[in-house]
Chain A
Amino acid sequence: MAADIVVALAFNAGLTAFSYGVGRPIVHAMGDNGPAGVRRLDGGLFALALGFGAIIAVYLFLGLGDVLNKPTAWVVYAVAGAIALAQYKGITAESRAAFERLRKLQPPAWALALVAVIAVHAFLNLVGAMAPPSMADPLRHHLASSAYYADVGGFPFVPVIFWNIPGVLHVGYTVELLVASDIAPAVTHFSFSLLTAGAVFVLGRRFAGWKVGLIAATIFYSLPMTTELAAAPMVEMGAAFFAVLAVYALLTASKDADLRWILLAGLLGGLAGATKPWALLAGPAGLAVILVVQGTGVLQRPRRTAVALVAFSLAFGLVLGPWLIRNYVAAGDPLWPIGYQVFRGDMWTDWHFDKFSSWETGPGKSVLNFVLGPWNLTNEIGSFTQNRGPLSGSLLTPILLIFIPAAWLFATARNKATGSLLAALAAFAALAYVVWFAGYQQPRYIQVVHPLLAVLAGAGVVAVSGTGRRWLALAAAGLLGLSLVGTLGVSVAFNSGFFPVVFGAESRDDFLEAKVSNISSVMWVNQNLPQDAKVLVMGLAGWYYFDLDWLVGDSAYQGHLAYHDMTDPDGLVMKLSEVGVTHVVVQGAVDVEPTLLGWAVRVGGPSYKERALEELLTDLELPPVTPSDFGARPFVLLAGLEAEGRLGLVHRGEENVVRSRTFGGSDTVEFLVYELLERQTP
């Protein structure tokens, strides 16, 4: 455990330094009017982003060529290191000059206090990141897919939802699982959380002054959602980092529509979209920013505006190209399976589509709720988080909602550059909000906008403080201070659960048992089934921790097992034999009778309880009618196999379903492990 942590920290320190080293010559090649000509920290972040993107691109193409393995991963890492080392003199001279400037700074006490707040949050988040992975999404997608890619040495198309786009960070996570440890991806994501805070600072500082930048960075980094995400191997922080720098580049391009900056913004926007599908909205939002920045120039110089829009789009598409082309070639849908409605891609069906398009959170999609969205996201967060309550990690602080309007209300306190910043950020946020509102309305899916909202709120705080009314300035400072104390408390509460395992007071196994739902079934399979077994997993938890060969079995989450085409158990045996499945594990859930038919009833609904197995098997001759039929079908097929003695129960055990990683508590349920007793040669 300790070794894993040290390796993770060392690998990430190298990756960050080498990314800067690789990106630095790219930035210099863009000339003095490009990112090399802006302030050192700003240019450094651009260098880091471009260098990281370049390194990931090399790894991606190695993976697409099926030659991504330990030796090639180390070679690329070493070459990147050599490029950085070759610039040793230049980089150390820059660093020395930067530290010298930092030393001479004489910031006011409040500024130091804000830096201290960020530092405390960062320490807590880093501890959280050093714990074994326990968040559900990484175990199901971000790490599970990366572990698979690391195993097979490439990025084959895998028809499992959310695995289809090996995003920018997924490529990095794959490399880290190959050569470092499974702590490393979370540390990388933590690094991107700090880099995003840095990007927020430089964006605010460049266009509205250092006070706005610092306050904005503090607001962003203290958001509970930042806390929750920064400590886990998610991908949102990478997308946010690239998106913020893309906005910086678009604003710098200004009314002249400097193509260099526009292209840079397109590349960075593309990196954001290639990191998380929901960050694809950086594309249309970026176009909106171009139009806002151009303002009246859109009519006066339409040709220049058109060139800027096309250049941004081309650069954006260039970065996304490899993923889109790979998916289109493999399944006929460049965004498989998100583009199903348009492309009708392979290995996906109307039942899959109906299942996922029926997902919706929030209080509803009325016009009133559209207008009240920001209010509801702040003050009614429970309605967006399946009533898990306001103390979830999706919580926003009231600081955003209170101070963002103030940026406009006290508009006289700002200058022209700030006005341009506010308009651009508002355009980006508004477009992102429209797309988000039309979709599933999961609060995390609009996280890419949070850093920009923090800049708006920072501008609001400074505007309120600059009105010349002392009582108002004190009230603003008091509100901000109270909010920061509260969010620090949330961070302590959230990350305190990780301290024992990171500092050796709790074993890794005990930690996973307390934090990861259904981990007992995963561990039982790992420890008791033969090494050459291949397990069909009927359940959605802890996939990353399966050591044996395994396959997603849920009907809705994958497209490789077409249960809907199987009209009897023979069809299932044939398919399972074809893909080499030897065992089936059915993970437990609350309020489900732990039998195959119990699961059919849970997924299919009450009508499945009223019918005997024979009748359910007879009904398989007809295609599924509803998504519920589609979901219940594999359990009916498996129950048919069990009834015929072709599937034998090997083990029935108990496991926990965790209610909350933060608050603790769990329910005990039963899991089932079966062996396929009869296999057929296809």
Chain B
Amino acid sequence: MLVRFIKDHWKPMVFSAWAVGVLVAYLGQFSGSLDSIRDVLDRIFGGV
């Protein structure tokens, strides 16, 4: 049953894992940039 499930769904599972992995790695590179993001938001919205 498990084999059949994997056979039927391996493509969506592989794609989902890939998408989540890329997304996490992508967002991870912003961790050191929060101050920069805050600066831009401050400039646009006047420090609110």
Contacts and interface: CB of A to CB of B under 8 A. Distances in A.
Interface of A: 375, 378-382, 389-391, 398, 401-402, 405-406, 409-410, 464, 467, 469, 472, 475, 479, 492-493, 496-497, 662-664
A391 B33 contact: yes
B6 interface: no
Given A379-B28, A391-B37, A479-B23, 19 more contacts: A378-B26, A379-B22, A380-B29, A390-B30, A390-B33, A391-B40, A398-B22, A398-B23, A401-B22, A405-B15, A405-B18, A409-B14, A409-B15, A467-B12, A472-B15, A492-B44, A663-B36, A664-B39, A664-B43
Contacts of A493: 40-41, 44
Contacts of A409: 11, 14-15
Nearest to A397: B26
A585 to B, nearest CB: 32
A464 B18 CA distance: 13
A660 B43 CA distance: 13
A459 to B, nearest CB: 14
B29 A390 contact: yes
Contacts of A492: 44
B33 A402 contact: no
Contacts of A389: 32-33, 36
Interface residues of B, number: 23
The winner among B11, B15, B32 for most chain A CB atoms within 10 A is: B15
Contacts of B40: 391, 493, 662-663
Contacts, number: 65
B25 interface: yes
B22 A402 contact: yes
| Dominant SS among interface residues on chain B | helix
B35 to A, nearest CB: 9
Given A405-B18, A406-B15, A467-B12, A379 B26 contact: yes
B2 interface: no
B14 to A, nearest CB: 7
Interface of B: 11-12, 14-16, 18-19, 22-23, 25-26, 28-30, 32-33, 36-37, 39-41, 43-44
Contacts of B16: 472, 475
The winner among B14, B22, B23, B25 for most chain A CB atoms within 10 A is: B22
B29 A382 contact: yes
30 contacts: A375-B25, A378-B22, A378-B25, A379-B22, A379-B25, A379-B29, A382-B29, A389-B32, A389-B33, A390-B30, A391-B30, A391-B33, A391-B36, A398-B23, A401-B22, A405-B15, A410-B11, A464-B15, A472-B12, A472-B15, A472-B16, A475-B16, A475-B19, A479-B19, A479-B23, A493-B40, A493-B41, A662-B40, A663-B40, A664-B43
Nearest to A389: B33
A380 B30 CA distance: 10
